[in-house]
C-alpha cells in the first residue's frame, strides 16, 4: 500500500477558473504537477480550494452543502462546491463576504480583509465537512496565509492532529490589510509573535510565523528576502528562521506554451525549424503596422504595467535610443499612468513603437513567436514567467539580474542580463543584444540554447514533494 499524503492547496486564483496574474498560472498548474508524481510508494491526494468569486464561471460546480463557522458571537454560512480539473478535486467556497466583493482583489481593503479571512478559515474547516483530512495545508501569498495561522491555533487544541503548514511566497511586499478586528470577530485570537510589531496584525506575516516551511518561488528570491533591500521589513524575522525557508523555481505549462503546436501563432516551428519563425515576425510586423523587415530587431514588452516590472525604465530606454534602428511592441494593462506612458511613446515614435493596452493572450503568444527580444527590467521579480515563455519561443530575454530572472536567464548564453535598475543599464544590454542580433549564427545559438531549457513543472513538483515528505514523516 503506498503511503498517502493529503494536501489542501489554497489560492485566491487559479487558471482556468479565474486568473489575474502569475499566481493564477502557478496555482492552476503546480498542484496538478505534484499530483502527477503519485507512484507506488507515495500517493498524492492534493485538492485545490478557491473562493467562488462572482467572476468564476461555475456551470459545472456541484453543490456540496452548507456549513457554519463562528463569527460575531454567532455563526456564518459557508457554501461549498466541488468540481474536478483533469482528475484533481477542486473545491469552491462561497458566502456573504465573497459575494459582497465583486473583484478578485478589491481596491477596498476592508472588503478584502473580510473576504480572505472568511475564505481562509472556511477552507480550513472544509476537510472536516467532507470527511477528508489533510496532512499539509499549503497557502499562497497573503490572501490564504491565515489558513496557516488558523491551522497552528487548531494544533493548540487538545487532541488535534499535526497538520503541517506551508506558505509559498509569490510577492512579499503584498502582506494584506490589518485583520486584527476581523480575526477576532471570527473567534481567532492574535498570538504573541516575534514578528515586528506592525506585522503582527497582517495575514502574510502571521502565516509565515505559523508555518512549518516557507517557499520562495525561486532560489534567488529566497536569498533576497533575507536582505534589507528586498525583505520588506521581515528580513530579520526571516533570517531567524532561515532553515525553514527554501526557494523552488516555478515552471511553465510547456504543453500549452509550445511553438510547435500553439494554435494562436501563424506558423508552428521548433528548435530544428527555427527558420520558419521569421514568418511569424513578418506577420506580427504587418499586424502591428510596422515595416515588414526581417533585419530590424523587434523588441517586446509583455507585462503588467507596474513599477515592480520596471516598465518605466524600459520606456525611458526606448525613448533614449533615438539613433538606433529598432522596432518595439508593448502589450499589457495595469497602472493607468504607465499605460498612458506607453501610448505616448507610440504617439512620439509611430513608425517604431506600438502600444496595446489591453489583455490579449493570443497576441502575447504571437509576440513571443515573432519578436526578437523580450525586455524584463524588473525592480524585483520573485520568479517571473514571461522570460521562460520567451525562451521557449526563441525570443531572447534581456533581463535584470534579480530573483527568478537571475536563476533562469544566463548572460550571453540564453539572453542578456544587467545589474542596475536604471534605464542606462538596460539600454547597454539592449544595445549589446542588437549588436549580437546582427550576427545570425551567434543569435541562433542564443535562441536554440533558450529553447533547449527545460522549464516544465516536473522539477518544481519533485522539490515540493520532497518538502511535503520531510514535513509529514
Ligand atoms: C508574482 C511575482 C512573479 C511570479 C508570480 C508567480 O506575480 O511577481 O515574479 O512569477 O507571482 O509565482
For residue 409, the domain's CATH number is 3.40.50.2000
Assess if residue 329 is contained within a domain.
Answer: yes
C-alpha cell read off for 31: 498542484
Distance in angstroms (rounded) separating the CA atoms of residues 301 and 334: 13
In short, whether 23's Cβ falls inside 6 Å of ligand 1 is yes
Q: Distance, CA 298 to ligand 1 centroid (Å)?
A: 25
C-alpha cell read off for 314: 524600459
In short, whether 21's Cβ falls inside 6 Å of ligand 1 is yes
Point out the residues of the chain with pLDDT beneath 70.
1
DSSP code for 191: P
Taking each helix axis from N to C end, the angle separating 336-348 and 311-320, rounded to the nearest 10 degrees, works out to: 10
Strands 353-356 and 88-94: unpaired
pTM for the whole structure: 0.96
In short, whether 259's Cβ falls inside 6 Å of ligand 1 is no
Q: Distance, CA 293 to ligand 1 centroid (Å)?
A: 34
**Are residues 101 and 123 located together in one domain of the fold?**
yes
**Are residues 104 and 238 located together in one domain of the fold?**
yes
**Are residues 144 and 65 located together in one domain of the fold?**
yes
What pLDDT is stored for residue 25 in this prediction?
A: 95
Name the residue with the closest Cα to ligand 1, atom 1: 170
DSSP conformation letters of 253-275: -TTTS-TTT-TTSSS---TT-GG
Distance in angstroms (rounded) separating the CA atoms of residues 132 and 305: 42
In short, whether 215's Cβ falls inside 6 Å of ligand 1 is no
**Cis, bond preceding 16 (omega within 30 deg of 0):** yes
**Are residues 211 and 308 located together in one domain of the fold?**
no
| Strand extents, DSSP E, 261-405 | 298-302, 327-331, 353-356, 373-376, 396-400
Count of domains in the chain?
A: 2
**Are residues 52 and 200 located together in one domain of the fold?**
yes
What pLDDT is stored for residue 156 in this prediction?
A: 87
Distance in angstroms (rounded) separating the CA atoms of residues 45 and 450: 34
**Are residues 245 and 324 located together in one domain of the fold?**
no
Name the residue with the closest Cα to ligand 1, atom 7: 22
Assess if residue 30 is contained within a domain.
Answer: yes
C-alpha angle 140-65-165 in degrees, rounded to nearest 5: 25
Assess if residue 262 is contained within a domain.
Answer: no
Which numbered atom of ligand 1 lies nearest the CA of 404?
9
Assess if residue 268 is contained within a domain.
Answer: no
Asked if 52 and 98 touch (Cβ cutoff 8 Å), the reply is yes
In short, whether 22's Cβ falls inside 6 Å of ligand 1 is yes
3-state secondary structure 160-172: CCCCEEEEEECCC
For a mutational test of ligand 1's pocket, the pick from 167, 215, 385, 406, i.e. the residue with the most ligand atoms closer than 8 A to its C-beta, is: 385
C-alpha cell read off for 446: 542564443
Nearest CA-CA partner of 121 in 97, 102, 105: 97
C-alpha cell read off for 234: 521581515
In short, whether 309's Cβ falls inside 6 Å of ligand 1 is no
Assess if residue 267 is contained within a domain.
Answer: no
For a mutational test of ligand 1's pocket, the pick from 224, 306, 311, 382, i.e. the residue with the most ligand atoms closer than 8 A to its C-beta, is: 382
In short, whether 304's Cβ falls inside 6 Å of ligand 1 is no
C-alpha cell read off for 218: 525561486
What pLDDT is stored for residue 58 in this prediction?
A: 75
For a mutational test of ligand 1's pocket, the pick from 170, 332, 409, i.e. the residue with the most ligand atoms closer than 8 A to its C-beta, is: 170
Which numbered atom of ligand 1 lies nearest the CA of 168?
12
In short, whether 389's Cβ falls inside 6 Å of ligand 1 is no
Asked if 164 and 472 touch (Cβ cutoff 8 Å), the reply is yes
What pLDDT is stored for residue 59 in this prediction?
A: 78
**Are residues 23 and 172 located together in one domain of the fold?**
yes
Q: Distance, CA 22 to ligand 1 centroid (Å)?
A: 5
Q: Distance, CA 21 to ligand 1 centroid (Å)?
A: 8
Distance in angstroms (rounded) separating the CA atoms of residues 250 and 457: 7
Distance in angstroms (rounded) separating the CA atoms of residues 464 and 473: 14
Task: Collapse the DSSP code of 252 into the 3-class scheme (helix H, G, I; strand E, B; otherwise coil) and give the result.
Answer: coil
Q: Distance, CA 23 to ligand 1 centroid (Å)?
A: 6
Taking each helix axis from N to C end, the angle separating 423-437 and 311-320, rounded to the nearest 10 degrees, works out to: 60
**Are residues 39 and 163 located together in one domain of the fold?**
yes
pLDDT per residue as tens digits for the range 242-298 = 999 999 999 999 999 999 999 999 999 999 999 999 999 999 999 999 999 999 999
pLDDT per residue as tens digits for the range 46-90 = 999 999 999 998 778 999 999 999 999 999 999 999 999 999 999
**Are residues 292 and 204 located together in one domain of the fold?**
no
Element (H, E) at 90: strand 88-94
**Are residues 231 and 369 located together in one domain of the fold?**
no
**Are residues 74 and 99 located together in one domain of the fold?**
yes
Assess if residue 224 is contained within a domain.
Answer: yes
Assess if residue 257 is contained within a domain.
Answer: no
Task: Collapse the DSSP code of 67 into the 3-class scheme (helix H, G, I; strand E, B; otherwise coil) and give the result.
Answer: strand
Residue 442: domain span: 274-455
Query: What sign has the CA pseudo-torsion 252, 315, 339, 297?
Result: negative
**Are residues 288 and 396 located together in one domain of the fold?**
yes
In short, whether 205's Cβ falls inside 6 Å of ligand 1 is no
What pLDDT is stored for residue 158 in this prediction?
A: 76
Assess if residue 174 is contained within a domain.
Answer: yes
Distance in angstroms (rounded) separating the CA atoms of residues 350 and 194: 55
Q: CB neighbours of 82 closer than 8 A, spacing ≥ 6?
A: 61, 62, 64, 89, 90, 91, 92
Distance in angstroms (rounded) separating the CA atoms of residues 48 and 19: 14
Nearest CA-CA partner of 303 in 29, 105, 21, 107: 21
Amino acid at each position: 500500500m503506498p503511503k498517502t499524503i493529503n494536501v489542501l492547496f489554497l489560492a485566491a486564483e487559479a487558471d482556468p477558473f479565474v486568473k489575474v496574474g502569475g499566481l493564477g498560472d502557478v496555482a492552476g498548474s503546480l498542484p496538478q504537477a505534484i499530483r502527477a508524481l503519485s507512484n507506488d510508494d507515495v500517493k498524492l491526494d492534493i485538492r485545490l480550494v478557491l473562493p467562488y468569486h462572482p467572476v468564476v464561471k461555475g456551470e459545472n460546480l456541484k453543490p456540496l452543502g452548507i456549513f457554519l463557522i463562528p463569527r460575531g458571537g454567532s455563526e456564518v454560512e459557508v457554501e461549498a462546491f466541488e468540481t474536478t480539473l483533469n482528475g484533481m478535486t477542486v473545491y469552491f467556497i462561497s458566502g456573504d463576504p465573497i459575494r459582497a466583493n465583486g473583484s478578485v482583489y478589491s481596491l477596498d481593503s476592508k472588503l478584502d480583509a473580510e473576504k480572505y479571512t472568511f475564505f481562509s478559515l472556511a477552507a480550513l474547516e472544509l476537510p472536516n465537512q467532507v470527511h477528508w483530512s489533510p496532512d499539509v495545508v499549503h497557502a499562497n501569498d497573503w490572501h490564504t496565509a491565515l489558513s496557516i495561522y488558523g491551522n497552528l491555533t487548531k494544533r493548540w487544541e487538545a487532541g488535534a492532529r499535526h497538520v503541517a503548514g506551508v506558505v509559498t511566497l509569490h510577492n512579499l511586499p503584498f502582506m494584506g490589510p490589518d485583520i486584527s478586528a476581523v480575526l477576532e470577530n471570527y473567534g481567532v485570537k492574535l498570538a504573541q509573535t516575534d514578528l515586528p510589531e506592525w506585522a503582527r496584525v497582517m495575514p502574510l506575516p502571521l502565516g509565515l510565523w505559523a508555518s512549518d516551511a516557507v517557499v520562495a518561488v525561486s532560489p534567488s528570491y529566497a536569498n533576497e528576502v533575507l536582505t534589507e533591500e528586498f525583505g520588506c521589513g521581515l528580513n530579520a524575522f526571516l533570517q531567524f528562521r532561515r532553515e525553514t525557508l527554501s526557494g523552488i523555481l516555478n515552471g511553465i505549462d510547456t504543453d500549452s506554451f509550445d511553438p510547435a503546436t500553439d494554435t494562436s501563432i501563424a506558423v508552428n516551428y521548433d528548435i530544428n525549424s527555427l527558420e520558419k519563425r521569421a514568418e511569424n515576425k513578418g506577420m506580427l510586423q504587418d499586424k502591428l503596422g510596422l515595416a515588414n523587415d526581417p533585419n530590424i530587431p523587434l523588441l517586446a514588452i509583455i507585462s503588467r504595467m507596474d513599477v515592480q516590472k520596471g516598465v518605466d525604465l524600459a520606456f525611458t530606454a526606448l525613448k533614449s535610443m533615438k539613433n538606433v534602428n529598432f522596432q518595439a511592441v508593448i502589450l499589457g494593462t495595469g497602472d493607468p499612468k504607465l499605460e498612458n506612458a506607453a501610448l505616448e511613446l507610440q504617439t512620439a515614435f509611430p513608425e517604431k513603437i506600438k502600444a496595446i493596452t489591453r489583455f490579449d493572450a493570443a497576441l502575447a503568444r504571437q509576440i513571443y513567436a515573432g519578436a526578437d527580444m523580450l525586455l524584463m527590467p524588473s525592480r524585483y521579480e520573485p520568479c517571473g514567467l514571461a522570460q521562460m515563455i520567451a525562451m521557449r519561443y526563441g525570443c531572447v530575454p534581456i533581463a535584470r539580474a534579480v530573483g527568478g530572472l537571475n536563476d533562469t536567464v544566463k548572460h550571453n548564453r540564453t539572453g542578456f542580463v544587467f545589474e542596475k535598475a536604471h534605464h542606462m543599464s538596460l539600454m547597454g544590454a539592449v544595445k549589446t543584444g542588437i549588436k549580437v542580433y546582427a550576427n545570425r549564427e551567434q543569435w541562433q545559438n542564443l535562441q536554440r540554447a533558450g529553447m533547449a531549457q527545460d522549464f516544465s513543472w516536473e522539477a518544481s513538483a519533485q522539490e515540493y514533494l520532497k518538502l511535503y515528505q520531510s514535513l509529514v514523516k
